Amino acid sequence: MKFITILSILLGLILISSTQCSKEVKETDYRDAFIGDYIFTVNAYHYAADSIFKDSLYYFSGYISKSDYSPSAILLFYKPNFNTVANISNDGKLGKIYGFGIGWNLGGKFEGVDRLWFRFGGLYTCDSVTGIRK
């Protein structure tokens, strides 16, 4: 009888400790505040040797999502058939881009978590973009 009581206590302790160990602490990801659907206004500029001209102005219903490139990366889908991946800091500043060569850059920031602006471009083209969360 004493053996069954001790065995019951041990099994109970094992069960309790295994359920306690299986609980995972869910970490918050600061990028979650910036993720969502946005309406983007895109001013596209092209540069020639002697002039700068505005090629187009358009609106696009796009989105911002997390990217797997790094723990601070987001995907900006801001114009048709095109997206770019950029780093975002916890204060909303946009920086380093992925997948583009030398001469391409992106800079901008969020104003709060519902509005952003950025410029993205290379040697002969530049998109000046504003976005508002839907």
CATH number at residue 44: 2.40.128
CA distances from residue 67 to 7, 72, 73, 128 in whole angstroms, order as listed: 50, 8, 5, 22
Domain count across the chain: 1
User: Does some domain include residue 24?
Assistant: no
CA–CA separation, 125 and 133 (whole Å): 26
Per-residue pLDDT tens digits of the chain, which is 134 residues long: 555 665 566 555 565 655 555 555 567 899 999 999 999 999 998 887 777 677 788 999 999 999 999 999 999 999 988 899 999 999 999 998 888 878 889 999 999 999 999 999 988 889 999 999 99
User: Does some domain include residue 52?
Assistant: yes
